[in-house]
Each structure stands twice: as structure tokens, then as C-alpha cells.
Structure 1
Amino acid sequence: MSVYKGGRSTFPPHRRVILSLGLLNAVLLIAAVVIGIYCAKAKDLQIPYSVLHNSSDIIRANLEAQAALKRERTSHLQLKLLVKHRKTVTDGLQRQMESLQTEKTNLKINRTTLEESCGRCLPGWILLESSCYFFSHPVSHSKKNWADSRAYCISQGGDLLVINNSEEQQRMSDNFPKVSSSSMWWQNGLWIGLTDVAMEGTWVWVNNVTEFKTMYWRPGQPNRSGPQSGNCAAFYFYSGSRGTWYNGNCHDHQLRWICEMEPN
């Protein structure tokens, strides 16, 4: 019970101790509650060790996958370079094989020609029926004008081709070399021994035989105007044995040629 002295109350000492202890217990209780709440939140925020361990495994696996992908890309690039190199080598070998095959074919043709001619024609000439013929080759022989072409044939013992009949016309068509060296059709023809130099419009062979047949001239030939015109005849096969003759400029036009001579 409180005792008032001089207008103020006084507590016995033991009560003051009890009151102090009560207040201290209250403070401690509040502190314990606050600490408990803080620890609970901290526990909720704490990442379990197993999660951290799994995350580390994932990161390591991701790095390993990236390294493996890089190695695969490097290997793929090396493989592409190897394939490209092998393709280059293969293409080179293919070209060599084609070249060798062409050479083999030419050798067979030359051997067959030699066997068939039995030495009756010069090397490079072919025996057809009762005459030896020479078709100038675009690789081995440069083109010439009509006069130089005839000079070559004469130097070999023959002359420019003279077509005597339809059978010989057919033989020339059958054996005409299918080689094109120019986009202009008339520049791919071969000189033959037929001109109208002495009298324009009268076509005469180099053996002085006048040619009267017109069925072997190409349509519109002989031509008297334009770049493809002149007084010397050439042979160009494209389809059928007829319509193969045309005329060209004897001096200015450079063509290949056909020689003819009697066999030995």
C-alpha cells in the first residue's frame, strides 16, 4: 500500500524490485519476439545448399555444352574445308580424265584411219572411197584465206577439194568436222576448190571443170553483198547433204580448208 509523505507516494523497496523485474521481462519478451520474427524471415530467404549445388551443376553443364558446341563448329568448318579441297582435286582429276579420253578417242581415230588407208594417204589424211582427204584442224592449223589454203594443199601434193558427184558431196557432209570456232556460221566453214574469179557468176573448180548444179548452194547463196560475200566457195554442213556451199571473200576471209589428192 502506498504511503504519502509530503505530497508524494512511496513504494516499499521490494515492490520496486518486483516492478523493475516485470518491466525487464516485458522488454526481453518483446526483444525475443522481434528476434524470432527476424530469424523467421531470414530462414525464408536462405537458399538451401541443395539448390546452390544444383545451380552450380547447371552452370558447369552449360559451360561444358558451350565448349562442346564450339568444338563441333570448329570440326564442321574443318570438314567443309576438307570437302571443298577434295572437290577441287576431284574436278581436276575429272578434267584430266576427259582430256585423256579425248586424246584416246583421237588416237583411235588416227589408228583406224591409218589402218584403213594402209599407208596410201599421208598422216592426218583419211581415205574415203578412192581419194585421200584432209580437213584442217582448228587447233593444229591457223585459218587462211583461199589462196593460202590452196597453197597448203598443193605443198602436200594435192589441191583444194573438188566435188565431182552427189556421192562425194554426201561423204563430205558425213565427215565434216563438227567444230565451231566463231558465233558467225559462215566463219566455221572450210574452203573448197570452187571460184568465179575468172567470170563472175560462172563457178569453176580448180581442175577447170565448170559447175552448173545449184542444188548444193545454201538458200540465198551465192551472196553478192554484205560481209559474207565474194568469189570463192566454202563448205559448211549443218543439216542434210544439200545446201552446204556458200561464197566468201577470197582474200579477206580466214577459214579452214579441205584438201584432196589421189592415194598412193
Structure 2
Amino acid sequence: MMSNDDNSNEKSTPTETGNNGSTSAVRVGSRNLPLYPLVVVCLGLLNTILFISAIVIGVYCGKVREVSTPDHNTHHLIFEIKTINEMHTEITKSQVEAKQALEKQLRHHHQIQLQIAQNQSLGDQLQTQIEGLLLEKATLQARISDIQGSCERCLPGWQLINSTCYFHSISETAIPKNWQDSRADCIHRGGNLTVIDNLEEQVSPASNQDTSKK
């Protein structure tokens, strides 16, 4: 049998190294195990742990990227929506300004049309007055010509109308003369009693009579 001291001495001996460069060993219990395989196993375990850690970190980074990508897309969409809203606001503002300018131009155009209509109406009135004045001028010139002609061709008090001298007798009494008395008066004045069929010749002596009554 071996004493406990011997067992403890055997366990306390970690390695045995030969002078000729033999491989070191670790004594575990009653067995000697080489040191190199243990190192390889430890390195393999460490490599496995690092590989698993790398996989875990890669998965985590992928999840973080997947989470951050929607956030980036969301910010991009929000920016685009904001830009579109600003463009829509500018377009709406431009439309309102264009509508106001168009309404202003339409009001100005309507005022111009009213002014043109008023000027046209005033022009028509002036044209009518001018035509009336021209007609009155022509009538006066004709009467002046008749008067000037009658001064040479007709006796005093007689009126020249269409190359014919007329005398309109005014009765001194309220009772008008009959045909015989009127004819006798005309013969006495050097003329002859006649029936006037022309409207112009009827109006001229009547107007002369109205003038003489004033």
C-alpha cells in the first residue's frame, strides 16, 4: 500500500522533462497526459467560442441593420412627404395669386367695356346731333338761297320756293276769305290763286306765317 504522503507527492508532480528534449506531460491521477494535445484542445475550444461569438455578433449586427434600414427609409419618406407638401403649398399659393390677378384683369376689362359702351353711346348721340345740325344747316342754306333768289325774282313779301314765288295772305279779320275773295286779292297783287299739292311748298308758307305771327 501507498501512504497518503506518497499519493500527495505523486499528484504534486506536474511535469517530467527529459534531458533529451522529450515532450512534457501532465500527471493526472495515476496517468501522465501529454501537454500539447491539451493546448490544442484548449485552443480549439477558444476558437469555437470566438467563432460562436462572431456568429452572434454578426446576427446582432444584421438585426440592428434591419432595424435601422426601415428607420432610414422612414426618414426619407418623411422628407419626401414634407417636400411634396411644401411644393403643394407653393402651387396652391401660385394658383390663388394667378386667380386674383385674373379676376383683377377681368374687372379691369369689364370697366373698359363699360367705358367703351358709354363712349359709343355718347358718340352715337353726338353723331345724331351732328346729322341734325347738318340737316338744319342745309335747310337754312336752302332758305337763304331762296330768300336771296326771291330778292331778285319775287316782289317784296313774296317767297321763292322751287323757282316759284308765293305770297301767303293773312286776313286782318278773324273770318277767313272765301275762294272768290282770295282769288281777287291774288289778282290784285299780280298773281293767281293756286292749290299747293307739294308738301314742301305747303310747309314753307305755313312756317313763314308762323314766323310772321311771332
TM-score of the aligned structures, taking structure 1 as reference length: 0.39
Q: Larger radius of gyration, structure 1 or 2?
A: 2
Q: If each structure's helix is expressed as a fraction of its own residues, which one has the higher value?
A: 2
